[in-house]
Structure 1
Amino acid sequence: MAIVEETYLNQKGTLLDCSAHLAQLTQPVAPVAPRTENSSTRTTLPRIQLPQFSGKYEDWPVFRDLFQSLIDKDGNLSEVEKLHYLKVSLKAEADSIVRNLPTITENYRRAWTMLCEQFENKRLLVRSCLTKFNSLQKMKTESAPELRKNS
């Protein structure tokens, strides 16, 4: 019985291949635009929430990396759109740095540079991580639940 089924499936595949080949021969040939490496098809995925950045140094590396991946390196977005996304992603102290810049093409790189100059300070980044580490409460017992509670 397995041999019969396998033979049937092989013959069916051959028939479908021949049918597809015949269909291609009977259709008029239309010029096809060459596919470039930059063109990409997008599938519909759940929307990704843009990260919010308030100006805390310990949050800067995560915000920077995610914003660059989602917005900055997207070749389909104009500089104005990138600046808009940047402005709506900022709040508090970080927002005050670029708030007064008009939303025009030339200001996206300027705004990003201003943020990097303010928050790429390695000394302040390390200090904020150490401060957060030192502010952890001492564990009362050596247990996993106690460790999770402090993190």
Structure 2
Amino acid sequence: MATDSETSLHASRGYVKGAITRLHSFVSNESELEESTLQALTTRKERLLTAFYEYEGFNMRILSMRADDDEDVAAVEDKYLYTLTVLNEVISRKTSSVEDSKGHVSTIARSKTKLPAIQMSIFSGNYVEYVAFQLLFTSLIHNDLTLDNVQKLYYLRSYLKNEPYDLIKNLPLTASSYDQARQLMEERYNNRYRIVNEHIGQLLDLPAFVKSTPENIRNFVASLKQTLAALQNLDVKVETWDPIIVCILNRKLDTYTARSYQMERDTAEEHSVKYFIEYLERRALALENAAPSTAMPSTKAKGLSINVASAGEKAVTCHYCKSNNHKLFSRVLWNAINSVKIINYV
């Protein structure tokens, strides 16, 4: 049986949850949202932040008294984050269109070309992908001054899955949790030793050539360049690895490509990854240029036609049967075939 204190907490939580629901309904009405002044929107945003802060406080107090509380916190969080995002967008747009003291529109509101939205990949714990993910997230989300830390934490959660998501999912949805989540991610996945090893593994695992085609060679070169560039970005001195890398890559080639490489290179010089890549690119171009053109008409042998007189040509009379349908040699050929048939029959 619930105590008076617990009943009071439930009632208070229901009140602030109702405030969040009303603000969510407000931002869902586009006409009312656009007609509101900048000051009114700012006030509503402050009310939303206060209500959600109080809501989480009531949740923690109720859970400390009753662990089996069945409150759907996730649904309220979704309403809160959606409402906060919409308010921030409208406030930012209205702020940028306010005229300055000279009566001119602020430079923020100048028209810009609408660019496609940048799509971020979901990070699932692959060490090789962590640096790129962190740089893109920092540029798009972390450095966005229109977002507060609660929103940034929400976006960070949405771009994670598997182990990375499990690492931060139990952090409360508060401003201070965002920095904690970033620190946990950095400590777990910014492992330079493991990242370098993963890139070296990609280099060793490049698929061997089954057939030397322009497409296969270019895909091989593209993967090789990307891996070497990633290692260089990690300050790995790959330029001193040339003999080892060329030896590894040479084993990936088919017999004809490897033989051609040995014939072309200057045996007096040391192996160079740069020259090796240039050789593969030249070979891909040569194979591509030597391939038959698909636009060439096909040349098929034409069968012998007994009716050689086409429309518009003068008909030739057969001297044997006086017919205009064929030449004399066609009649001779026909008789010869029939003679063979008669002999075989006999």
Normalising by the residue count of structure 2, what TM-score does the alignment of the two structures yield? 0.32
Question: After superposition, where does 1:1-150 map in structure 2 within 5 Å?
Answer: 31-32=101-102, 40-41=108-109, 43=112, 44-150=114-220
- Alpha-carbon distance between aligned partners in 1 of 2:179 and 2:166, rounded to the nearest angstrom: 17
Q: Displacement, 1:49?
A: 2.1
CA distance in 1, matches of 2:196, 2:145: 33
Structure of higher CA gyration radius: 2
* Aligned-partner Cα distance in 2 for 1:130–1:118: 20
**Higher RCO, 1 or 2 (CA under 8 Å, sep at least 6)?**
1
Aligned pairs, how many? 120
Cα deviation, residue 88, structure 1: 0.3
- Which stretch shifts more, 129-138 or 104-113? 129-138
Q: Which amino acid aligns with 1:99?
A: K
Find the residue that maps to 2:175 and give its secondary structure.
coil
Partner Cα distance (2:108, 2:171) in 1:
32
Aligned mates of 1:136, 1:122 — CA distance in 2: 22
CA deviation vs aligned residue, 1:78-97 (integer Å, no higher than 9, x gap): 00000000000001111111
Output one character per residue of 1:58-104: Cα deviation in whole Å (capped at 9) or x when no partner: 11111011000000111111000000000000011111111111111
Deviations 1:94-144 (A, max 9, x none): 111111111110000100010011111100000111112222211234543
Change in CA separation of 1:145 and 1:112 when aligned onto 2, cut-off 3 Å: same
Q: Which runs of 5+ in 2 are unaligned?
A: 1-99, 224-346
| C-alpha RMSD of matched pairs (Å) | 2.7
Deviation for aligned residue 1:45: 3.5
Unaligned runs of 5+ in 1: 1-29
Q: Tell me, in whole angstroms, the C-alpha distance in 1 between the residues paired with 2:191 and 2:207.
A: 27
Give the counterpart letter for 1:84 in structure 2: Y
Aligned to 1:7: none
Query: Within 1, Cα distance between the matches of 2:166 and 2:186?
Result: 14
For 1:107 and 1:148, locate their aligned partners in 2 and report how far apart those are by CA, in whole Å.
Answer: 46
1:50 Cα shift? 2.9
Higher helix fraction (1 or 2): 2
Answer whether contact 1:51 1:67 (CA < 8 A) is retained: no
